[in-house]
Chains A and B, each alone.
Chain A
Amino acid sequence: MSPRPASFSLLEAPAPDAGFAGKLTTMASQPLHEIGPAGPGFEAAALGFTLALAAKWAGPAGIFWAGEDAAFAEEGAPYPVGLAQYGLPLDRLIVARARKREDALWAAEQALAATGAIVICALGAQGKPLDLKASRRLLLFAERYASRCLLLTPENGPSAAWTRWRIAPAESAAQPDELGLPAFRAELTRSRGGPAGVSFIVDWDAHERSFAEREMARDLSAAPENGSADPRWARAV
């Protein structure tokens, strides 16, 4: 048999949106994403996923991390040594803490005016739910200045975000006597103009600033749509 023409193999290439890597490529050009814990106790994982995205996308304009006090106090203060090891550029990181939610949102809006910036807007669990208008404003600012906003909130209300992710930690893939790479079970619960309800298990390689999707995750993502196919989820506290 003669070898296939090159053009033929191109047709067989996966759709750009297939897999986590493809999803990530699409996301990189979208202005607003929302990330939250898949359940109580998973706040650190949701933050980890957010920070990984920020580290991956950070350009010369750097990262602004604006949050309300409630979002900082509960889970401990950001720790520069750990952040650097996580892949964040310390020389291009600014953290702004606000007493009130409206100030945190305002700070995020201001920071979005830096073209190319990655702005993390971290909200706590307390307070009244975020209204659609607030996330629309973030979207508007991000679009206008070609910056990107990662909205970190445990809430599930209406949102103008392009994607919404629910994050739980995933078991380490390393040997029992060592902690592996940071690992997440990431469920895409909403996606503008694309399929939602997909789950991925990904490892974050801070050194390479890249995600690696685990093969087994493909099977798990085929699990029933109402979620908690994995018994570990049900026990989450």
Chain B
Amino acid sequence: MQLKGVDLRAHKLGLNLAMSLADARAMQPKLEAIEEEPEEDAQALDNIAAWCERFTPIVVLDPPEGLFLDITGCAHLFGGEEKLRMEIVTRLHAQGFGARAAIAPTPGCAWAFARYRRQLQGEVTDAFAVLPVEALRLDADAAVLLRRLGLKTIGQILNAPRSSFTARAGEQAMLRLDQALGRAQEALMPRRPAPPVFVLRRFLEPIFTGEAVLHVTQDLCGDLIEKLDIRGAGVLRAELVLFGVDGRDRVIGVNASKPLREVKPLMRLFREKLNIVGENLNAQFGFEAARLDVVRLAEFDQRTQTLVSVDAGSASAETISGIVDVLSSRLGAKRVVRPQLNDAHAPERAAGWRSALASKGQDQLIKPPADGVQRRPVRLFSPGQQIEVMAGVPDGPPIRFRWRRVMREVVRAEGPERISGDWQKYEKTRDYYRVEDKQGRRYWLYREGLYGESETPRWFVHGLFA
């Protein structure tokens, strides 16, 4: 068994990662060894990454033990780069994690300095050059190979003629070098998709009240709109992330049906949402920072604004999309819906409902049902509700039937309309009848299967005519 990690005390006693457990035990009989748990470690790393999102939304996992934080545009909120670095390290220490951090212009450089040198002084390239080749983030074999070639420091590679590096170790080393020095792009995949636009605020004192949260949200909305203004874009979906002092965060998302580029309508959505989650914010420990992300944005169409003042008809449409936003944010997007007609024969699939937010900009007319479609009920039961048919004519509509415990006498009937089932789903053919009972109530009934297929065919109410 091999040592996979040592803490500071073990390190000071001379233990290191190259040792086997038996050797380590021989050196330090009182050694306390715990079996490796890679999954738990991965989970812990992810938790730390989530916690780090209070400093920037762009956090990249670098397993088994590393994280990259893209702090572009964030450092000033924490009093500068060095203060931010110190804060991260100290607070991770306070949580019981050993941590080292470095800030550098490229991920590769930062990786190297965090592991091989604590502080960055002087020119980046000079400081980088004195680091060992392992600092290039190479596969273990590649580093070994470089050392065999007599290359011990990055500087030696920098000075060696480029052409001498071929295949295997060479190629990887050159790529890493170029990336570290910013000559080549390095694409890193953030833990969560990076929001195209975000604004971050941290508070001098933790905030506790809903009122304070609203106030902060208002400020963030203002910052965000300002940023969007520069980009000429509008918000479609925004998420407010509140970072708790307890290390947990809450996310509150809102959707707009058309791009928003003003504080007021955006704030209205958040106010509505915050009113609902109000008591569940769990702010007892307070929030120390908040971030507002634009998760989806859209180019803001100048024409939509001018159209409104010209045409009175679209003035009300303007309000309607605002109403859809507000309703969706309180009731939920799936509960505010527009009708949709599908090109399907089976009644259940011929129509449906979809979020009114999703059908944004869907001013195109919904085609009316084809003329060939016979009369359909305004309300549909899905699935149909079984009825008890008391008397029936062979291959005809029922004369009397019982539904919801009440007997109904059919006085008139129209049909049958045969609708074939989907043979792939083993659905039976249905014969539909539109019937009226003695009191004038109208039902959409069907018999399942062809007449004569079974002795007692099953009947259903599929819908009600108004």
| Segment 313-327 of B: residues with Cβ below 8 Å from A | 313, 315-317, 319-320, 323-324, 326-327
A24 at the interface (CB under 8 A from B): no
A3 at the interface (CB under 8 A from B): no
CB nearest neighbor in B for A112: B323
CB nearest neighbor in B for A59: B316
CB nearest neighbor in A for B370: A81
Q: What mask results when residues 202 to 237 of chain A are scored 1 for a CB within 8 Å of chain B, else 0? A: 000000000000000000000000000000100111
> Of A48, A116, A171, which one neighbours B316 at CB under 8 angstroms?
A116
Q: How far is the CB of B70 from chain A (nearest CB, A)?
A: 40
CA distance A76 to B363 in the complex (A): 28
CA distance A98 to B328 in the complex (A): 10
Contact check, B337 vs A94: say whether CB atoms are below 8 A apart: yes
B74 at the interface (CB under 8 A from A): no
Task: Please report whether the interface of chain A is mostly helix, strand, loop or mixed according to DSSP.
Answer: mixed
Contact check, A94 vs B331: say whether CB atoms are below 8 A apart: no
Residues of chain B at interface, number, CB under 8 A: 57
Q: How far is the CB of A99 from chain B (nearest CB, A)?
A: 8
| Segment 411-451 of B: residues with Cβ below 8 Å from A | 411-414, 434-436, 438-442
Contact check, A44 vs B339: say whether CB atoms are below 8 A apart: no
Q: Which one of A61, A79, A235 has the highest number of Cβ atoms from chain B below 10 Å of its Cβ?
A: A79
> Of A41, A107, A179, which one neighbours B439 at CB under 8 angstroms?
A41
Contact check, B313 vs A60: say whether CB atoms are below 8 A apart: yes
Q: Are A179 and B434 also in contact (CB < 8 A) when A75-B464, A171-B411 are? A: yes
CA distance A236 to B440 in the complex (A): 10
> Of B338, B368, B440, which one neighbours A170 at CB under 8 angstroms?
B440
Q: What mask results when residues 274 to 314 of chain B are scored 1 for a CB within 8 Å of chain A, else 0? A: 00000000000000000000000000000000000000010
Q: Are A47 and B316 also in contact (CB < 8 A) when A81-B347, A86-B378, A110-B323 are? A: no
Contact check, A107 vs B327: say whether CB atoms are below 8 A apart: yes
A61 cross-chain contacts in B, Cβ below 8 A: 316-317, 319-320
Q: Which one of B317, B353, B379 has the highest number of Cβ atoms from chain A below 10 Å of its Cβ?
A: B379
Contact check, B338 vs A47: say whether CB atoms are below 8 A apart: no
CA distance A212 to B366 in the complex (A): 28
B341 at the interface (CB under 8 A from A): yes
Contact check, A110 vs B326: say whether CB atoms are below 8 A apart: yes
Contact check, B319 vs A114: say whether CB atoms are below 8 A apart: yes
A52 cross-chain contacts in B, Cβ below 8 A: 466
A111 at the interface (CB under 8 A from B): yes
B26 at the interface (CB under 8 A from A): no
Contact check, B317 vs A60: say whether CB atoms are below 8 A apart: yes
A12 at the interface (CB under 8 A from B): no
A44 cross-chain contacts in B, Cβ below 8 A: 378-379, 441-442, 464-466
Contact check, B379 vs A177: say whether CB atoms are below 8 A apart: no
A66 cross-chain contacts in B, Cβ below 8 A: 327
Contact check, A94 vs B406: say whether CB atoms are below 8 A apart: no
Contact check, B353 vs A80: say whether CB atoms are below 8 A apart: yes
B381 at the interface (CB under 8 A from A): yes
> Of B327, B351, B353, B441, which one neighbours A169 at CB under 8 angstroms?
B441
Q: Are A182 and B463 also in contact (CB < 8 A) when A81-B376, A93-B338, A95-B337 are? A: no
B356 cross-chain contacts in A, Cβ below 8 A: 94
CB nearest neighbor in A for B336: A96
B336 cross-chain contacts in A, Cβ below 8 A: 94-97
CA distance A235 to B366 in the complex (A): 41
Contact check, B341 vs A81: say whether CB atoms are below 8 A apart: yes
Q: Are A169 and B440 also in contact (CB < 8 A) when A82-B377, A177-B414 are? A: yes
Q: What mask results when residues 67 to 106 of chain A are scored 1 for a CB within 8 Å of chain B, else 0? A: 0000000011111111111100011011111110001001
Q: How far is the CB of B60 from chain A (nearest CB, A)?
A: 40
> Of B320, B341, B350, B381, which one neighbours A90 at CB under 8 angstroms?
B341
CB nearest neighbor in A for B356: A94
B352 at the interface (CB under 8 A from A): yes
Contact check, A179 vs B465: say whether CB atoms are below 8 A apart: yes
A36 at the interface (CB under 8 A from B): no
Q: Are A82 and B414 also in contact (CB < 8 A) when A76-B379, A95-B353 are? A: no
A42 at the interface (CB under 8 A from B): yes
Contact check, A179 vs B412: say whether CB atoms are below 8 A apart: yes
| Segment 217-232 of B: residues with Cβ below 8 Å from A | none
> Of A82, A113, A115, which one neighbours B463 at CB under 8 angstroms?
A82
CA distance A172 to B435 in the complex (A): 10
Contact check, A232 vs B439: say whether CB atoms are below 8 A apart: yes
A154 at the interface (CB under 8 A from B): no
> Of B382, B411, B440, B464, which one neighbours A168 at CB under 8 angstroms?
B440
CA distance A179 to B440 in the complex (A): 10
Q: How far is the CB of A202 from chain B (nearest CB, A)?
A: 12
CA distance A107 to B337 in the complex (A): 13
Q: Are A178 and B341 also in contact (CB < 8 A) when A95-B353, A103-B330 are? A: no
Contact check, A84 vs B330: say whether CB atoms are below 8 A apart: no
Q: List 24 A-B contacts (CB under 8 A).
A: A42-B441, A45-B466, A52-B466, A75-B464, A77-B381, A78-B380, A79-B377, A80-B339, A80-B341, A81-B351, A81-B373, A82-B375, A82-B378, A84-B341, A85-B369, A91-B365, A95-B336, A106-B330, A116-B316, A169-B440, A176-B412, A179-B465, A232-B440, A236-B439
Top 4 A-B residue pairs of the complex, sorted by shortest distance between their CB atoms: A48-B466, A169-B440, A76-B379, A80-B339
B residues lining the A interface (CB < 8 Å): 313, 315-317, 319-320, 323-324, 326-327, 330-331, 335-341, 347, 350-353, 356, 363-366, 368-369, 373, 375-382, 406, 411-414, 434-436, 438-442, 463-466
Given A47-B378, A94-B320, A169-B440, output 6 extra A-B contacts at Cβ < 8 Å: A41-B441, A60-B313, A82-B380, A97-B331, A171-B411, A237-B406
